């Protein structure tokens, strides 16, 4: 069964736009879990424009499902993760100031670097996922570097889904086949929403987890957070 991790970055962005503590990020995380979310994801960036580094200890203290911290593994990020060990750390090749993640790792060119980072995280019993494009050699490179899982970057799928769903998902189905063959777990995320989520899951065998933030938070403005999380869970079931 595919698990739903709710990315609360956009909640933090709303809070930061006015200062103060409204919405209360810790309470939102608690509520998401009580509404059925099976994990909480945060992606602190160097400019801290949404999730701030000081949010992480407070969230770690209250998240009772799976806590997933995403980010580019520079020194500051790794220090944050090692000081607040989550259940999972998803490594993403973001550049400073990047608006949103829009490409996966080249796990071949960065093999030595990724292996060192993964070993460091494993020393703290942190499961490691690598953000990758749906390309067989990148999936294989993630396995060779020691990652426990991949997170398939689903932006291109979401973009092409309205025109030709089967063509849009084909590369992901093949990447999942490769991952299942070599024994690395599969997560997915980016621009998944209520329209495309069920189709993606049906065509990505043994998908363990999806991380969804932007679309889910946008839907919650209309439907409420509790109802929205239930709606997304129904797509996964």
Strands 3-7 and 185-189: unpaired
Contacts of 58 (CB under 8 A, 6+ apart): 25, 26
Q: Is the backbone peptide bond immediately before 134 cis, with ω within 30 degrees of 0? A: no
Residue 174 is among the residues annotated as catalytic for this protein: no
Is there a catalytic annotation at residue 70?
Answer: yes
Tokens of 67: 């806590």
Q: Of residues 38, 50, 66, 190, which has the active-site annotation?
A: 190
Catalytic-labelled residue, pool 33, 38, 66, 70: 70
- Determine contact, residues 200/172, Cβ cutoff 8 Å: yes
Which residue in 43, 50, 66, 209 is the catalytic one? 43
Per-residue tokens: 105: 């790792």
| Backbone φ, ψ for residue 211 (5° rounding) | -115, 120
| Cβ contact 191:155 at 8 Å | yes
Active-site residues: which are they?
Answer: 43, 70, 190
């Amino acid at each position: 069964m595919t698990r739903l991790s709710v990315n609360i970055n956009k909640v933090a962005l709303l809070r930061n736009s006015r200062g103060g503590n409204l919405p209360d990020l810790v309470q939102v995380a608690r509520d998401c879990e009580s509404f059925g979310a099976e994990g909480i994801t945060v992606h602190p960036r160097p400019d801290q424009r949404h999730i701030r580094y000081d949010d992480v200890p407070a969230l770690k203290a209250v998240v009772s499902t799976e806590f997933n911290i995403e980010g580019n593994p520079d020194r500051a990020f790794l220090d944050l993760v090692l000081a607040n060990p989550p259940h999972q750390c998803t490594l993403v090749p973001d550049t400073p100031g990047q608006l949103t993640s829009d490409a996966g790792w080249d796990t071949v060119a960065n093999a030595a670097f990724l292996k060192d980072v993964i070993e460091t995280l494993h020393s703290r019993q942190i499961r490691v996922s690598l953000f990758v494009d749906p390309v067989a050699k990148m999936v294989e490179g993630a396995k060779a570097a020691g990652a426990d899982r991949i997170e398939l970057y689903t932006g291109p799928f979401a973009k092409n889904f309205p025109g030709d769903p089967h063509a849009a998902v084909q590369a992901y189905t093949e990447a999942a086949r490769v991952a299942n063959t070599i024994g690395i777990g599969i997560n997915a995320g980016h621009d998944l929403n209520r329209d495309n989520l069920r189709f993606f899951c049906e065509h990505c065998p043994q998908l363990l987890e999806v991380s969804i933030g932007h679309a889910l938070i946008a839907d919650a403005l209309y439907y409420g957070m509790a109802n929205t999380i239930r709606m997304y869970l129904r797509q996964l079931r």
